[in-house]
Structure 1
Amino acid sequence: MTSNFSIQRATASDAHEVAIMVGELLHEIMSAIGMQAFNFNLHETSAKLKDFIDREKYFVFIAIGGNTSQMGFIALYESYALYAEGAFGTIAELFVRPGYRSQDIGQRLIEQAKLFGNSRGWKRLEVTTPPLPQFDRTLAFYEKEGFAITGGRKLKVAL
């Protein structure tokens, strides 16, 4: 167990290291569900993330250990909807590396996201979990952090 970590807002210079963790997250999801649900290219993801951070389209916070190791991250973006009564945040990715789980890192990343959202005037935070039942623990984590199931499923169509 470690409590020696800090949460820092990522800058464009952190994009490569965060992109590595994105790859780890996507690999973990695809391994659990047994299908190639995502395409991942480290170079392309790093470049996109750097651009998103530079243009403030994405807000990323990193959990950094005392030895400067990156333990996990949360990525957010701002959206607008009438049903949400205005601006709100969406958690695009939340990942804690397996060796650091169950050490309150995810909880602290969520707390940081809530503080950040309040500072931007967001009315709420939304998140979609990976597929269930493979990610029941993820759902339980979010519920413990105050998130409530609102129904429905996330759907997509390629453009």
Structure 2
Amino acid sequence: MDIQIRQSNRNDIELITNMVASLLKELGDRDVNNKELIDICSNLINNEENLYTAFLACKDTECIGIITLSEFISLYGKGLCGLVLELYIVPNERSKGVGEKLINTVKKYGFQRGWSRVEVGAPDPEEWSKTVSFYKREGFQEIGPRLKYHLK
């Protein structure tokens, strides 16, 4: 079967939420609240500034992968940049080129949007070495750890 990659739209909010919820659960988040995710996703998708988008990998009518992105501006990035927020492939479709197709779609999208770079916050390389290796194979370079501070 051919895998089709398409940009999400407002009708995909529940699908995006379900895919991201699966990723979060796999990463160990036991407190995934789908209702809250749907509300957040709805706000992001419906934002007129178009700073958030998702691409879906579909096989027939089934969604087998997702990549979500945000656009930002920075001096160090010399202008517009993209940030991969989430990348998830259903387990039985991994290592079949789906992730590569999604990353290539992001690179083309970023080029069209005038981005100077695409960044990703990868999980702990000791625990998720296959994930980090995947990004490196796709041309990403390590730029250091990413830290967070919760405001809420």
* TM-score (normalizing by structure 2): 0.93
The reply to whether residue 48 of structure 1 matches residue 40 of structure 2 is yes
Gap regions ≥5 residues in structure 2: none
Residue by residue, what CA displacement relative to the aligned partner does 1:67-86 show, whole Å, maximum 9, x if unpaired?
A: x1000100000011100001
Gap regions ≥5 residues in structure 1: 31-35
Residue by residue, what CA displacement relative to the aligned partner does 1:22-55 show, whole Å, maximum 9, x if unpaired?
A: 111011111xxxxx5x742111111211221121
Cα RMSD (Å) of the superposition?
A: 1.2
CA contact (8 A) 1:72 1:97 kept: yes
Aligned length: 149
1:33 equivalent in structure 2 = none
The reply to whether residue 91 of structure 1 matches residue 89 of structure 2 is no
2:62 equivalent in structure 1 = 69
Letter in structure 2 aligned against 1:47 = D
Residue by residue, what CA displacement relative to the aligned partner does 1:95-142 show, whole Å, maximum 9, x if unpaired?
A: 101011011000000000011101110000000111221100000000
CA contact (8 A) 1:87 1:123 kept: yes
**Aligned-pair identity (%):** 33
Structure 1 consecutive aligned stretches of length 4 or more whose deviation exceeds 2 Å: none
The farther-off stretch of 38-47 and 19-28 is 38-47
